[in-house]
Every structure is written in structure tokens, then in C-alpha cells.
Structure 1
Amino acid sequence: MRQVSKALTMAAAVVGAGMLAAAPASAAPFWQPVSTTSNWHCGSTEKHAGSNNVLFQTCIVVSDSNTYAQAVLVVRNNASAAVNIEGSLTTNFGGGADCNSSKLNPGLVTGCFGPTIKVGSASPIYAYSDLKMNGISDRSTSITLV
């Protein structure tokens, strides 16, 4: 019996690892550090309705071949106190995501990354985000790539 249980555990681990490897890249629902490159295309940086010191924007990251895209909600806290954030991403290419509630300390920048989706030659693609900061909701302008 112990051998069968051990074999099932091992098989489940192998199947689980394979499923994770096949899943699209995504950090949602968790907030992650942000490091931009030339593949990042971002909408305007906006002041949040709840604070002029909390800035946010929606970005779309595209692969070098323009075959894959990923939406990102980027938040910067320029305030002198920590803020509580949570958010969501909406896209027309299946890359939407919900972002967990999290504390963002002063002076930090963080991002919530939606899944990486194969977009092929789909055009245009767009994304926008909603950010709740200390209980106050606000929506970014959308970013559209043609």
C-alpha cells in the first residue's frame, strides 16, 4: 500500500509540473517588481483619484516577434505612507487578470502581470486597468497597439 501511495504522489507531482510548464506566463494575482524594456508599450501615467502621489498606468509587453502579448498594471507610490492596492486588467486578447490586495510602501513601484497570450497577427489589441487604492477605485486610460 505504501508503494502505491508513493507512486501516486510521484505521478501527481510529474503531471502537476507538466501542467505548470504548459501554462502561460503570469504573475497575477501577485504583485511583482517591474523592469521595463523596449518591448513595453504603456499608456499615460495617471494620478489615482484617491491620491496625487499614487501613479498608475497600463502597459502591454510584446514579444520581439509581436506574436505574444502580456498586459501589466504598474503602480508607483510617491506618498510618504504605505497604501493598500488591488486591481484588475482587462484586454481584448484574453490577457485579463485580477490582482490581489497588497500593501505598497512609499517610494516603491510594483506591477501585476496578466498571462502571456499568443496574439499572432490580431490587431488592434488593447488593455486597461482598474486600481483600488485605500478603498477608492479608479480606471486607467486604455493602451491600444495596432
Structure 2
Amino acid sequence: MARKKRLATAALAACAALVVAQPAQASETVGWKPVNTNSNWHCTSYLYHPPSGLNLKTCIVLNRNNDAQAVLVAQNPTSSAKTISGRVVFESQRGGDVWCATSNFAAGGTAGCYAPTVRIPACKTTTDAKGTLNIAGHELVYTAVKGGISTFC
């Protein structure tokens, strides 16, 4: 009986080790949120997407502590709701990437998909923020602030 108990314990430990050893998901999935820009936001101009009627821009938000995040911003000036999803790739090596959840995007609305905040070393340049918006079978890719922006020294 003791031998069976030791085997069961060993098997349980092996299973636990396998669970811990599994790779983490590359980035989380987040919902779309309201957008309120200020002087910390460094954004491109809106890009119009004729097939969907939506406008899209990508921003890098940087504060004085050199914390930065990218935001994919969508604007729906049409009179009908749209179903959108997307992805933001920003400072991947620091964990700044995110998937944007599929969402019913109201007519007349503006919303942002916020990537995680990451710390950028002082006196460095952030990487480009790449936003991808998926709408009605179309994929629209836009890169913000080509070449990145410089952090505070």
C-alpha cells in the first residue's frame, strides 16, 4: 500500500511539474475602453478605412517616469455598429503586446485597446507601436510614431 501511495505522489508531482513548465500565453486579451488623450499621448493622424468606414490611429503614451504603453484607437463615424477586434505589438521583449477582444463597436463611438504599461529605460527610444484592426474580414495595420519616441533622461 505504501508503494502505491509513493507512486501516486510521484505521479502527482510529475503532473504539477508539467503544468508549471507550460509556456505562458504571449499576451493577454483586453476589452476596448474610452479614450481621453492629453500631452502624454503621441499619436498618428487618423487613417480612414473605406471598406468599413472606420478611422484608426495608434498612439504611444509616455509619462515622466518613462512608463509607456501603446493604444490602438478606433473611431466609428458611421451610423451602424461594427464588430471589431485587433492586436497591439509594442515593446514585445518587455511584455507590451496585447490582443484586443472582439467587440460590438457602436455607431459614432471612439474606443481604444490599451496595451500593458512597460518601463522604458531613461534616454532611450521606444519601439514602433503596431496596431492591427480586424473589421468585417479586413485587416488594417498601422504603425505609430515611426521610429518611436525618446524617453526622458
TM-score scaled by structure 1? 0.74
Given the alignment of the two structures, is residue 114 of structure 1 paired with residue 118 of structure 2, yes or no? no
Matched, 1:39 2:43: no
**Aligned partners of 1:137, 1:116: CA distance in 2, in Å?**
25
> Aligned pairs, how many?
118
Give how far 1:59 is off.
0.3
Match of 1:94 in 2: 95
> Alpha-carbon deviation of 1:91?
1.6
Runs of 4+ in 1 over 4 A off after TM superposition: none
Counterpart of 2:127?
125
Name the counterpart of 1:83: 82
Residue identity in the other structure for 2:68: A
Task: Give the aligned residue type for 1:59.
Answer: C
**CA contact 1:50–1:133 (8 Å) conserved in 2:** no
Q: Match for 1:36: what amino acid?
A: T
Q: Which has the higher strand share?
A: 1
The amino acid that maps onto 1:55 is N
Contact 1:78 1:106 in 2 (8 A): yes
> 2:55: which partner in 1?
55
Measure, in 1, the Cα distance between the counterparts of 2:49 and 2:84.
11
Structure 1 window deviating more from structure 2 (135-144 vs 102-111): it is 135-144
Deviates more, 1:69-78 or 1:28-37: 28-37
Compare CA radii of gyration and give the structure with the larger one.
Answer: 2
Contact conserved, 1:28 with 1:113, CA < 8 A, in 2?
no
AA at the equivalent of 2:44? G
In the other structure, the counterpart of 2:73 is 74
Shift of 1:49: 5.1
SS at match of 1:87: strand
Q: Work out the CA distance in 2 between the residues paired with 1:124 and 1:113.
A: 16
> Is the contact between residue 28 and residue 114 of structure 1 (CA under 8 Å) also seen in structure 2?
no
Amino acid at match of 1:104: F
C-alpha separation in 1, matches of 2:83 and 2:44? 23
Report percent identity of matched pairs: 34
Residues 75-134 of structure 1, C-alpha deviations (whole Å, 9 max, x = no match): 000011101100000123531110000011111100010000001223243211000012
Q: List gaps (5 residues or longer) in structure 1.
A: 1-26
Q: How well do the aligned residues superpose, as a CA RMSD in angstroms? A: 1.7
Structure 2, gaps ≥5 residues long: 1-27
Q: Secondary structure at the match of 1:125?
A: coil
For the 8 Å contact 1:45–1:57, the answer to whether it is kept is: yes
Q: Could you tell me which residue of structure 1 aligns to residue 140 of structure 2? A: 138
Distance 1:54 1:33, change over 3 A: same
For 1:19-34, what aligned pairs fall within 5 Å after superposition? 28-34=29-35
Between the aligned partners of 1:112 and 1:50, the Cα distance in structure 2 is 21
